[in-house]
Structure 1
Amino acid sequence: MTFEAIHNYYEHLVFRKIAEAAAVEDANFLEDVACVALNHLPPRYVRQSIDLLFYMSSDEYAEMLRRVDEAVENAIAFVQAHRKRQGKG
């Protein structure tokens, strides 16, 4: 038995949003942002992304995107502030 196909759908959305929103190339910073953002979103586990999209209304999908935008923006601010307090940026 293998579970390799199972993943949290929010991961894809968060990673894509970070790539669009982050103006830095520091891998550690981006990974920290991803972790903070994902920890503030509910898990949505799927085997295939199309499974989720098929059963979701356009309003529900828009709400997911709004939540991702907010989580990533807050995570960027949080990680930046944390690094400043530690003298890393």
Structure 2
Amino acid sequence: MKLNDDIHNYYEKLLLQHLVDLGLDKSKNAEYLADLICISLNLLPPRYIRYEVDMAFYLPQSERFEMEMKVKEAVARAQDFLDTKRD
């Protein structure tokens, strides 16, 4: 049995967008980014969806804002962890 390719964690999209907004996709290497993404996602609750349009129409603005804040916090914590471990 295989999961449907359409099913994914919505936090992945929010996380990747935040990394681009921070410019980390340009300033960090692939190894660092892979570790950062894994650690950050492990700090976030899963939010599985099938269609992006579902989130666009049915997610209240307040909940979206809360999710974005959780992503920012998770990335900051993951960066602190990685930067401390790599020094």
Identical positions, percent = 38
Per the normalisation by structure 1, the TM-score is: 0.85
2:21 and 2:35 map into 1 onto residues whose CA distance is 16
Q: What amino acid does structure 2 have at the position aligned with 1:79? A: L
Unaligned runs of 5+ in 1: 85-89
1:2 and 1:14 map into 2 onto residues whose CA distance is 22
2:19 and 2:80 map into 1 onto residues whose CA distance is 12
2:44 to 41, 45, 53: 41
2:42 and 2:3 map into 1 onto residues whose CA distance is 25
How well do the aligned residues superpose, as a CA RMSD in angstroms?
A: 1.6
Residue 70 (1) aligns with residue 79 (2): no
Shift in Å, 1:48:
1.0
Shift in Å, 1:82:
1.3
Question: Which has a greater percent of helix?
Answer: 2
